[in-house]
Amino acid sequence: MTIPDPKSFQVKSFGCQMNVYDGARMAEMLEAEGMTQTAEGEEADLVVLNTCHIREKAAEKVYSDIGRLMKRGHAPMIAVAGCVAQAEGAEISRRAPGVGIVVGPQAYHNLPALVRKAARGEAALDTDMPALSKFGALPARRRQGPSAFLTVQEGCDKFCTYCVVPYTRGAEISRPFEAIIDEARALVDAGANEIVLLGQNVNAWHDEEGRGLEALIRALDALPGLARIRYTTSHPADMNEGLIRAHAEVEKLMPYLHLPVQSGSDRVLKAMNRSHDAASYLRLIDRVRAARPDIAISGDFITGFPGETEAEFEATLRIVETVNYAQAFSFKYSPRPGTPAAEMEDRIPGEVMDERLQRLQALLNAQQLAFNQAKIGLRTGLLLERAGRKPGQKIGKTPWLQSVHLETGAAIGELIEVELLSAGPNSLAGAHLLPAAA
């Protein structure tokens, strides 16, 4: 069966920021092919589901989305991209025959060719993992909001026993220095004033000349027109002295560090194959804070890893109390096919995981609120990123990645001075400080 070439498309990204980046690049590529992106609420001829496989719930979501799309009057051409595509491959079209295209995260530069294949009624699957070749094949960056993601590193060699990433995203690989700086320049020319360097292990980025992430940050610091630099996600094992020093010395590098610890129990950390223990993680945090005392620390946590006892869970609460996080993400352990932890005994019952997650989140939420409240009265820079719900309202980010709502006539993309007036757990309210009239 042949179907007409799709004219319009929609890309829906789930999961991590690297998927958001990939989603943006897929959209740029389809636009370069002459297709148009549909507005919110419009039905597209082609829907790309850019999926996440990190936990079971995320991975299963794609099937309910496919079911919903198939119920439309005119079912669209459906492409499953991202980590579920990589992990499940051809199995997806067997389970959901409405899916015409399956494309993995290292192969999406072939999406236009796959669309043409699917339109001819041919099976269109590509889950090859050729290192980095997609970047060279993608069109140049064009449109850009105030804050832009830039993937510099992909994959993971750490093999934490719970995690699918080494299997879905492959081995650690760093993009070349020049390619990254060229893309950064294109993003700034296209309107970005903040760049967020991305990688599953972004601080493992390095090149053949022995340069590390610090060198990239310093090169971006010298880029005219760029106001802010961020990077995420970091692994404690790759948090070296040079990068820590950059936090003290590079003014454009924002005071925010996402440094997942996962657990506060040394036995659990070992079973997770994390390379740090609680004490070495805390020493690292001390060094980072010595370099940049106001830095906002954020982290990831898993509750209910196989065999986790109540006392081991309490060790997680203790490390949270010691670090005092500005922000955090916490999850119930989810067994993932093919990972070593999925074979471990002593699964923790769902109710116990739930109860632990709730206690952990209550503590993390209280810390986040306290972090936000401690900033009340402060004057700081705010990068306006989008319009708020109310007319005239805009939402921007502080250096510590807090969202601030305020009324201002300043344009999206401007970096303005604000005073922070009040704080909730998830955002603050502020007032635009206008420069004194001359």
- In 3D, which of 395, 396, 401, 313 has the Cα closest to residue 361? 313
Angstrom distance (rounded) from CA 362 to CA 382: 28
Judged by CB under 6 A, the residue of 118, 285, 296, 302 near ligand 5AD is 302
- CA-to-CA dists, residue 186 to 132, 147, 179, 195, 345, angstroms: 19, 13, 11, 11, 50
Per-residue binder mask for ligand SF4 (CB under 6 A), 367-386, x = binder: --------------------
Per-residue binder mask for ligand SF4 (CB under 6 A), 172-201, x = binder: ----------------------------x-
Place of tokens 């719970």: 162
Other beta carbons within 10 angstroms of residue 56's beta carbon come to: 13
Cβ 152 to ligand 5AD shortest distance, Å: 18
Decide if 157 contacts 172 (C-beta within 8 A): yes
Angstrom distance (rounded) from CA 363 to CA 369: 10
Judged by CB under 6 A, the residue of 6, 82, 260, 264 near ligand SF4 is 82
Q: According to CB under 6 A, which residues from 247 to 286 bind ligand 5AD?
A: 260, 262
Contact between 83 and ligand SF4 per CB under 6 A: yes
Contact between 23 and ligand SF4 per CB under 6 A: no
Structure tokens at 241: 């002295």
Amino acid at 87: A
How would you list the strands of the sheet with 327-332, edge to edge? 256-258, 296-303, 327-332
Judged by CB under 6 A, the residue of 29, 54, 69, 382 near ligand SF4 is 54
Judged by CB under 6 A, the residue of 14, 167, 325, 333 near ligand 5AD is 333
Place of tokens 């760049």: 195
Q: According to CB under 6 A, which residues from 160 to 179 bind ligand 5AD?
A: 162-163
117 phi and psi, to 5 degrees? -60, -50
Structure tokens at 170: 């492959």
Cβ 347 to ligand SF4 shortest distance, Å: 21
Cβ 243 to ligand 5AD shortest distance, Å: 19
Structure tokens at 214: 């610090």
Total residues in contact with ligand 5AD, by rule CB under 6 A: 12
Cβ 27 to ligand SF4 shortest distance, Å: 17
Structure tokens at 173: 């690989």
- In 3D, which of 234, 149, 233 has the Cα closest to residue 195? 149
Cβ 411 to ligand SF4 shortest distance, Å: 32
Contact between 11 and ligand SF4 per CB under 6 A: no
Judged by CB under 6 A, the residue of 6, 9, 11, 19 near ligand SF4 is 19
Judged by CB under 6 A, the residue of 55, 141, 158, 356 near ligand 5AD is 55
Angstrom distance (rounded) from CA 185 to CA 431: 32
Contact between 164 and ligand SF4 per CB under 6 A: yes
Reported residue count of the chain is 438
Cβ 187 to ligand 5AD shortest distance, Å: 24
414 binds, among ligand SF4, ligand 5AD, none (CB under 5 to 8 A by kind): none
Judged by CB under 6 A, the residue of 6, 10, 16, 158 near ligand SF4 is 16
CA-based angle 401:405:410, to the nearest 5?
100
| Residues within the interface to ligand SF4 (CB under 6 A) | 15-16, 18-19, 52-54, 82-83, 164-165, 168-169, 200
